[in-house]
Amino acid sequence: MRQAQCSCGQLRVACKGEPAKVSICHCDACRLRTGSAFGIAVFYPREAVKAEGDQRDHTRKADSGRNVTFHFCPYCGSSVWWEPERMPDRVAVALGAFADPDFPMPDQSVNDARRYKWIEFPEAMQKRAE
């Protein structure tokens, strides 16, 4: 069992078991959402994730043309987890929201062509164009 949370701690997400996939994304939408150099999604089966606390939603269209709905804390603004319409049986949780340096390494780095040039990842990590 792992616990993710927003910056102020009132929105909490309990995640059961190991993630299905951990994915770094270098698209501009992920930068704008996080304010960081890239976003990291920890994908879990929908039934493994339970959110608790107040949250607000923001829906945007992904590159796939399908909607993604982000859930964020209305008090501190952290976006903690989201639901990609493209993968109805999975939800994503922000890796940073676990604040756990022992969290498993990401499996892949997507939209790698948009990556800041000063960012380098271990050879083992798969890099994808999408």
Q: Is 41 in the site for Zn ion (CB under 5 A)?
A: no
From 46, 64, 67, 76, residue interacting with Zn ion (rule: CB under 5 A): 76
Scan for tokens 């999604």, then name that residue.
Answer: 41
Options 40-48, 70-78, 85-93, 114-122: segment touching Zn ion (CB under 5 A): 70-78
- For 1-69, the three-class secondary structure string (H helix, E strand, C coil) is CEEEECCCCCCEEEECCCCCEEEEECCHHHHHHHCCCCEEEEEEEHHHEEEECCCEEEEEECCCCCEEE
Smallest gap, in angstroms, from Cβ of residue 27 to Zn ion? 3
Give yes or no for a contact between 68 and 59, defined as CB atoms under 8 angstroms apart.
yes
From 30, 41, 80, 95, residue interacting with Zn ion (rule: CB under 5 A): 30
From 20, 27, 51, 87, residue interacting with Zn ion (rule: CB under 5 A): 27
Report the run of H or E that residue 72 belongs to, with start and end: strand 67-72
From 24, 42, 48, 73, residue interacting with Zn ion (rule: CB under 5 A): 73
Options 1-9, 41-49, 86-94, 97-105: segment touching Zn ion (CB under 5 A): 1-9
Q: Please tell me the distance from the alpha carbon of residue 32 to that of residue 70, in angstroms, as a whole number.
A: 13
Q: Is 32 in the site for Zn ion (CB under 5 A)?
A: no
Options 43-51, 71-79, 90-98, 122-130: segment touching Zn ion (CB under 5 A): 71-79
Options 15-23, 69-77, 79-87, 117-125: segment touching Zn ion (CB under 5 A): 69-77
**CA-closest candidate to residue 100, choices 42, 37, 25:** 42
